Chains A and B, each alone.
Chain A
């Protein structure tokens, strides 16, 4: 396969600024998918709202571009209903970590076999330059006029605290490495987070391409991504930000595999027929032993 297999067959008016890191991520994503031989018809790209969330529109594949912050619940459901599909959720830091924060936490706990790619530019692009959860304290915007006073959201540390099964960070300034990291994430079975640093050339003059280049470095080759406590320490590093695959927990049970219906058979839900016999049987049972004990749930 070739990255071109993911090119749209028609003109598309790309909504990103020249020099935006999103372009690079799109290029890298297509390459990674092609190298992994993923059939575009068997792939679903799920996103929320924001500039990053438009990425799926620029690929030839199945797309579910839902609501702001809500990419992960439908992504989880799509994978559960048809585990034969490859599901990738792709959105920005505001969408996944801010508006969708609750889903981010609980999706990690569920551990569906999906990949979550987060474009992290530490600012809101589509709404024009307000602070994002990952904005640095002191970052001045039209709303945070004296600079951001909220603590910075550390997605890697949060994911690790919830024992996410795969956690990585990349910088789109290095396209080759970013591609390799995405490939590892997509191949990994279980929830895989790839946080990608990406400059916003229009609204973030602080965390620029040069800034990311100067303030990141790769985890050393002897680094052990299985030692969770050590990984946690590295995720907390703030002076210079490490890049690479931080954490892998391959032993963590996957959501779909654990759902009742897949315990007895791996046939995707959509390929199963309605159990008519059971339905008639249910009525017959009701005729004999009428009332199931439906206990009252009080909230």
Chain B
């Protein structure tokens, strides 16, 4: 295991405690502070489906090099409850520095099971003005250990708590100072030494999590309507757009259920808006009839599905890639669709933006299939170029003789909207004639099915090719899709071999027409998926005829850790199936 890597240039800090203890505040403050201080960082969280209590943890990785993936190793742990310590026990090593309150972690004067660097958070915070200040003491300690500029830290905390009043700002500043001193001491004594380099170019970068990035991508795609029912892990998209509604002219409506949500979004597009829905697998299950409606009406719609473990309610706040096939096959009948699966937070922006334009162009449902892991992860990255944004509405001004479903070579019929021009825009969930009225004519039925499916040809030609890292000729081709991208990259890097290539798909349907070519030079293929049955390998086989040799699957509700994936890949490689090729 990689647990032995010393936390010098790459430090993994974990905060663990009960829901409601303010761990997220620390994550938020640290993320901002690290960005301002020009450090590379990554953060992610795992949490329970409850409002209070339990054990939740947040990992903040700070590094000299860019970091974008979850590691299970913990270099510095802040356990805020005794249970917290147990919760992350499996991730500790002898080198983990545990900073906490001994009286809390081992009550009644018992000898704690692990070595603890004693910091009496509660009593210190009370001295400052209340237990609430424990969080900022922790921020101070981290800042002190990492050697973040004291003035920058203090200015930032002051600015942040300004709105809560002079008293709060002052107390938080005191709390920060107390923490900072401790952090400095830890570093000076040599208890924990970190030498992380800053990078001036980070100044120009931005930080987002996946949910925000999908929301921002939607704005870039001209989204002006979102209807959704709150559901983890996608609620952040709804709140992001709701918050922006005034500034960006967005109607954000919380629907009574997911059925209403998707039917509203389709209605919005019909009337000339650009609508989206966001949900998780369970909510999407209710939307499937609406997906089929979009297919029949040939009305665009953008659907963001954040996966979490199922069936049914499953593990509501955790991660999985188990809904790929559901999204692919959702909705009765045969009609085209596109499924994007962002591998990075940058992808969340660019693919969501693209989804709106693609949905509009082909009058189809387009999916952004993400998961809790990427929705809830942050890191710093190069801001996208949005100077070329233009929202070209694909709808037309209708004339008196307008009919909605003209048969064309491309299969795309000019889309009118009601009230724009003299024509009547008639759409019908029944099979319909050119005018949009109900028909049961066999020949018309065949013509309409062909017209709808014809669009698929052009859509396939526009598909995003998979990204290959490494050579086409390789001993091992590691295949993955969606949020496992950075984890797989780091794991492969750690293996340090030159015969492993990575093939990542951020469009999982339809696959690019050259997909099979990427497999020709690979002696062995290994797929990595956060599900139990390797759903993507079935899509791959159906589309290309290619069968994957080995599967590395995880479905415990957590993302792969870099360490675990490194070990799993190593194990697969050691029992190579085709050492001399096929």
Pick from B203, B389, B428, B436: contact of A279, CB below 8 A.
B389
B437 beta carbon closer than 8 Å to chain A: yes
- Judge whether B209 is part of the interface by a CB distance below 8 angstroms: yes
- Partner of A63 from B31, B49, B263, B436 at Cβ < 8 Å: B436
Q: How far is the CA of A299 from the CA of B233 in the complex (A)?
A: 9
Q: Judge whether B328 is part of the interface by a CB distance below 8 angstroms.
A: no
Q: Is A18 an interface residue (CB 8 A)?
A: no
| A238 within 8 A of partner (CB) | no
Option from A77, A102, A106 in Cβ contact (under 8 Å) with B268: A77
Q: Tell yes or no: B419 within 8 A of A by CB.
A: yes
A105 surroundings in chain B (CB, below 8 A): 256
CB–CB B419/A42 < 8 A: yes
Q: In the complex, A95 Cα to B207 Cα: how many Å?
A: 47
Does B49 contact A299, Cβ atoms closer than 8 Å? yes
The answer to whether B290 and A287 touch across the interface, beta carbons within 8 angstroms, is: no
Would you give the shortest CB distance from A80 to chain B, in whole angstroms? 6
Give the residue of B260, B273, B438 whose beta carbon is less than 8 angstroms from that of A270: B273
Q: Is B427's CB under 8 angstroms from A63's CB?
A: yes
Give the CA-CA distance A292 to B259 in the complex, in Å: 30
Is A61 close to B, CB under 8 A? yes
CA separation between A74 and B212, bound complex, in Å? 27
CB pair B251 A287 closer than 8 Å: no
Interface positions, chain A 52-93, Cβ under 8 Å from B, are: 54, 57, 60-67, 70, 72-78, 80-82, 84-85
Is the Cβ of B232 less than 8 Å from the Cβ of A299? yes
Interface: B430 (CB within 8 A): yes
A103 contacts B by Cβ under 8 Å = yes
A residues in contact with B235, CB < 8 Å: 297, 299
* A260 closest partner in B (C-beta): B245
- In the complex with contacts A65-B428, A260-B245, A77-B275 CB distance below 8 A: yes
A283 in complex: contacting residue of B211, B266, B383, CB < 8 Å: B383
Also in contact, A261 and B267, with CB within 8 A (given A62-B424, A283-B383, A287-B206): no
CB pair A57–B437 under 8 Å, yes or no, is yes
Interface residues of A toward B: which range? 35 or more
Within 8 A of B (CB), among A239-298: 259-261, 263-264, 269-270, 272-276, 278-280, 282-283, 286-287, 289-298
> A70 with B317: in contact, given A80-B268, A287-B204 (CB under 8 Å)?
no
Does B422 sit within 8 A of A, measured CB to CB? yes
A221 within 8 A of B: no
Judge whether B198 is part of the interface by a CB distance below 8 angstroms: no
A67 touches B389 (CB 8 A): no
Nearest-neighbour CB distance to chain A for B44, whole angstroms, equals: 12
Is A12 on the interface with B (CB-CB < 8 A)? yes
| B409-448 contact mask (Cβ, 8 Å, vs A): 1 or 0 | 0000000011111111111111000011110000000000
State the CA gap A105–B256 with chains docked (Å): 9
Question: Contact at A102–B316, with CB atoms within 8 Å?
Answer: no
B24 and A296 contact, CB distance less than 8 A: yes
Chain B residue with minimal CB distance to A292?
Answer: B212
* In the assembled complex, A147 has its CB within 8 A of some CB on chain B: no
Interface flag for B236 (CB, 8 Å): yes
Bound complex: CA A106 to CA B251 (Å): 17
A81 near B378 (CB under 8 angstroms)?
no
Given the interface contacts A73-B263, A76-B264, A260-B246, does A293 sit within 8 Å of B429 by beta carbon?
A: no
Asked if A44 lies at the interface with its beta carbon under 8 angstroms from chain B, I say yes
**Do A294 and B425 touch across chains, with their CB atoms under 8 A apart?**
no
Asked if B148 lies at the interface with its beta carbon under 8 angstroms from chain A, I say no
B383 and A286 contacting across the interface, CB-CB below 8 Å: yes
- Do A49 and B429 touch (CB < 8 A)? yes
Indicate if B216 sits at the interface (CB-CB under 8 A): yes
Chain A binder among B5-13, B114-122, B220-228 = B220-228
Please report the C-alpha to C-alpha distance between residue A216 and residue B231 in the assembled complex, in whole angstroms. Answer: 47
The answer, among A44, A81, A287, for a CB contact under 8 Å with B205, is A287
Given known A41-B418, A65-B430, contact A81–B251 (CB-CB < 8 A): yes
Contact with B293, one of A66, A278, A283, A290 (Cβ below 8 angstroms): A66
Q: Please give me the residue from chain A that is nearest to B378 by CB atom.
A: A291
* Residues of chain A lying within 8 A (CB to CB) of residue B423: 41
Q: Is the CB of B251 within 8 A of A290?
A: no
Q: Is the CB of B417 within 8 A of A41?
A: no
Cα-based distance from A133 to B72 in the complex (angstroms): 56
Known: A63-B424, A67-B429, A291-B207. A77 touches B227 (CB 8 A): yes
User: Shortest beta-carbon distance, B17 to chain A, in Å?
Assistant: 14
B384 contacts across to A, CB distance below 8 A: 283
Report which residue of A44, A80, A290 has the largest number of chain B beta carbons within 10 angstroms of its beta carbon: A290
Residue of A nearest to B272 (CB): A270
Instruction: Convert A121-147 into 0s and 1s, putting 1 for each residue whose CB lies closer than 8 angstroms to a CB of B.
Output: 000000000000000000000000000
Cα distance, A299 to B234, chains bound together (Å): 11
Q: Is the CB of B32 within 8 A of A84?
A: no
Q: Which residue of A lies closest to B440 (CB)?
A: A13
Tell me the B249-300 residues at the A interface (CB within 8 Å). 249-253, 255-257, 259-261, 263-268, 270-273, 275, 289-290, 293, 297
A238 to B69, CA, bound (A): 67
Instruction: Decide: B417 and A12 in contact? CB cutoff 8 A.
Output: no
Chain A residues with CB under 8 Å of B51's CB are 298
CB of B376 closer than 8 Å to a CB of A: yes
Choice from A84, A106, A282 contacting B419 with Cβ under 8 Å = A84
Asked whether A40 is an interface residue with its Cβ less than 8 Å from the other chain, the reply is yes
Instruction: Establish whether residues B428 and A298, one from each chain, have CB atoms under 8 Å apart when the complex forms.
Output: no
Q: Contact at B247–A294, with CB atoms within 8 Å?
A: no
Given contacts A64-B427, A290-B35, A296-B24, A103 and B260 within 8 Å (CB-CB): yes
In the complex, which residues 35-67 of chain B have their Cβ closer than 8 Å to any Cβ of chain A?
Answer: 35-36, 45, 47-51
Please, what's the 1-or-0 string for A5-34, where 1 marks a CB less than 8 Å from any CB in chain B?
Answer: 000001010010000000000000000000
> Within 8 Å of chain A (Cβ to Cβ): is B113?
no
- Closest B residue to A46 using CB positions: B267
Q: Does B459 contact A (CB under 8 A)?
A: no
Interchain nearest-CB distance for A131 vs B (Å): 23
Instruction: Decide yes or no whether B248 CB sits under 8 A from chain A.
Output: yes
Asked if A41 contacts B419 (CB within 8 A), the reply is yes
Q: Which among A54, A60, A61, A77 has the greatest number of chain B C-beta atoms within 10 A? A: A77
- Residue B568 is within 8 A (CB to CB) of chain A in the complex: no
Query: Roughly how many angstroms separate A103 CA and B253 CA in the complex, as a whole number?
Result: 14
Q: Are A264 and B246 in contact (CB under 8 A)?
A: yes
Asked if B28 and A82 make an inter-chain contact with CB atoms under 8 angstroms apart, the answer reads: no
In the complex, are the beta carbons of A291 and B32 less than 8 A apart? yes
B21 at interface (Cβ–Cβ under 8 A)? no
- Given contacts A276-B389, A279-B386, A298-B50, is CB(A65)–CB(B429) below 8 Å? yes
Contact across chains for A75 and B47 when beta carbons are under 8 A apart: no
Given A74-B264, A74-B266: 12 more A-B contacts, CB < 8 Å: A72-B260, A77-B265, A80-B268, A102-B260, A106-B255, A260-B245, A272-B224, A286-B207, A291-B35, A291-B378, A296-B376, A298-B47
Q: What are 11 sample pairs from A and B whose C-beta atoms fall under 8 A apart?
A: A61-B424, A66-B429, A82-B272, A259-B251, A259-B253, A274-B389, A286-B206, A286-B207, A295-B24, A296-B47, A297-B235
The 8 closest A-B pairs by CB, nearest first: A74-B267, A77-B267, A297-B235, A62-B418, A270-B272, A73-B263, A106-B256, A290-B207
